[in-house]
Structure 1
Amino acid sequence: MRHDVNKQKIIITGASAGIGQKLAWHTAISGGIPILLARSTDKLERIQQDIINEIHTNCFIYSVDITDEKALANTMEHIIADHGQIHAIINNAGMGIFEYVQDMNWQSMERMFQLNVLATMRLSQIMLNHFSTVRSGHIINIASQAAKIATPKSSVYAASKSAVIGFTNALRMEAASEGIYVTSVNLGPVRTNFFQTADPTGNYVKSVQAYMLDPDHVAKKVISYLFTNKREINMPWWMEFGSKLYQLSPRIMECLFRKQFSKK
């Protein structure tokens, strides 16, 4: 497998804003060909035109709700028919809602799992079969540090991202013999519109804004590891260090950092 992005076709989900938009830019800057998926046609078209005009490279867009299994299957068929061999997919699309379990409606819980987990699994399955034909490819799944340190009000979101990490870890071992790389990206809070839905009050953002990650920096780092055998990308480093301590002594960590864990 080649270890550069030049002329490689990269599918990116949730590409109309935030990390997904930045992933599209850094794919194009690195010489790759971004293939962007999201629901908003207007936003995708603006990003496509900006990339074509400013970076002078091809960029392709497909408007689809990836939680609609039939629509997703049809779109993936079209993508493969249009472009032939795809080289990587970054399953970036996701959402969060920060509420106590007893206050959250069931539809919100279902929506998080449909988008964060089931759509990621279905796309990974489709692309795994596609990559197997040439024994090459890379699947990158965007998870979260919340999966490693679950905190109040993030119970369902953390559960969905825990599922992503568990799925990714097993898939990595299954795909290794096919020459396919599988990577999880575990992020702390990132400065994007994710929190407009997750935290509409703005209280959590106010408490963590000093150490929120820059989406441009995140995207650049993720793209830099494309087509390399990277198990995990963990950001920020100090949160990953904290998660390792938490795994060793969860009771002590929960007592020591109770106030910090309850900032939502």
Structure 2
Amino acid sequence: MNDLVKNKTIWITGGTSGIGLEMTRQLLEQGATVIVLARNEKKLLQLQDDATLKKGNLMTQMIEMSNEDSIKQAVKTLFNKGIIVDVLINNAGIGIFDHILDSKSEEIREMFDVNVLGSITLIKEILPHMLKNQRGQIIQIASQAGKLATPKSSVYGATKHAILGFSNALRLELADTPIQMTVVNPGPIRTPFFNVADKSGTYVTNMEKIMLKPEIVAQKIIKTIGSSKRELNLPWWMNFGAKIYHLMPGVIEKIASKQFNKK
């Protein structure tokens, strides 16, 4: 439990499933006000009707992270209601694992629109309010895929690499302000994400034993709230592998090429 989340207002994009939903549950239990932003109206309504969440202070707001106007309108609606934002957890994201020659142009655009441009747009809309209030924290959910490229995730990895670059630069821009920037780089997590990302089921089959549990990932992310932690990398050994890769990419590609191709 993180005592620093109590009474804080925390916005979570993509909070209706996976680690977003798990963070929502845990944050409500710890006394936070949680604003869940997602595009699926049915899932948002289900969230509101969930008896296990009704004891907490939960609000929902529809948003389409691939649409700039939708993002601006969602933020405007919440601010007009007097909702503040102490912490933004940019969690919404999509991925589709395909060789680049098999990738569809519309899917490539959607990954960049949601994972990168949507994330940046939402921060641009919220940041002035954090600066005005002289407090706030932005938690970006990136991925180990942004540090260590593998076959069939060239586009997805590129979006997460972009988020890492953006977040690192933004952290420097905010260095003289009270706003904290934290980036989370998890490895594969056992969530519905792979229902879309892994059409063949090959990746999940091969990686099942090392997949992270969403409740554990959510718990570790929540512990970063109120801290000055720069990055959270999960699991540690995967991040260690990424560091070794950056030191000797050619060697690692030769040694681990079969493992990389398990998608």
TM > 0.5? yes
Q: After TM superposition, give the deviation of residue 3 of structure 1 in Å.
A: 7.2
2:212 match: secondary structure: coil
Using the size of structure 2 for normalisation, the TM-score is 0.96
Matched ranges for 1:1-264 at <5 A: 4-50=4-50, 53-54=52-53, 56-264=55-263
Q: After TM superposition, give the deviation of residue 55 of structure 1 in Å.
A: 6.1
Q: After TM superposition, give the deviation of residue 46 of structure 1 in Å.
A: 2.1
**Aligned-pair RMSD on alpha carbons?**
1.4
- Contact between 2:143 and 2:160, CA under 8 Å: does it hold in 1? yes
Q: After TM superposition, give the deviation of residue 45 of structure 1 in Å.
A: 2.2
In 1, distance between residues paired with 2:172 and 2:73? 28
2:50 match: secondary structure: helix
The alignment of Structure 1 onto Structure 2 pairs a total of residues equal to 262
- Worse-matched range after superposition: 23-32 or 145-154: 23-32
Deviation per CA, 1:83-134, whole angstroms, max 9, x where unpaired?
3421011000001111111111111110000000000111111121110001
Deviation per CA, 1:122-151, whole angstroms, max 9, x where unpaired?
111112111000111000111000111101
- For 2:152, the aligned partner's letter is K
- For 1:95, the aligned partner's letter is I
In 2, distance between residues paired with 1:67 and 1:103? 22
Q: After TM superposition, give the deviation of residue 173 of structure 1 in Å.
A: 1.2
- Contact between 1:142 and 1:185, CA under 8 Å: does it hold in 2? yes
- Contact between 1:23 and 1:223, CA under 8 Å: does it hold in 2? yes
In 2, distance between residues paired with 1:99 and 1:210? 22
In 1, distance between residues paired with 2:124 and 2:214? 27
Unaligned runs of 5+ in 1: none
Q: After TM superposition, give the deviation of residue 63 of structure 1 in Å.
A: 1.5
Q: Percent identity?
A: 40
- Contact between 2:190 and 2:212, CA under 8 Å: does it hold in 1? yes
Q: After TM superposition, give the deviation of residue 54 of structure 1 in Å.
A: 4.8
Q: After TM superposition, give the deviation of residue 201 of structure 1 in Å.
A: 1.1
Deviation per CA, 1:25-69, whole angstroms, max 9, x where unpaired?
111112111100111122122223336x55612100012212111
In 2, distance between residues paired with 1:185 and 1:205? 21
- For 1:206, the aligned partner's letter is T
1:263 match: secondary structure: coil
In 2, distance between residues paired with 1:4 and 1:55? 22
In 2, distance between residues paired with 1:4 and 1:166? 28
In 2, distance between residues paired with 1:23 and 1:45? 18
Q: After TM superposition, give the deviation of residue 176 of structure 1 in Å.
A: 2.3
- For 1:184, the aligned partner's letter is V
- Contact between 1:37 and 1:64, CA under 8 Å: does it hold in 2? yes
Q: After TM superposition, give the deviation of residue 207 of structure 1 in Å.
A: 0.0
In 2, distance between residues paired with 1:107 and 1:41? 23
Deviation per CA, 1:194-221, whole angstroms, max 9, x where unpaired?
1111111111100000010011111111
Consecutive aligned runs of 4 or more in structure 1 exceeding 6 Å deviation: none
In 2, distance between residues paired with 1:173 and 1:54? 37
Q: After TM superposition, give the deviation of residue 175 of structure 1 in Å.
A: 1.4
Using the size of structure 1 for normalisation, the TM-score is 0.96
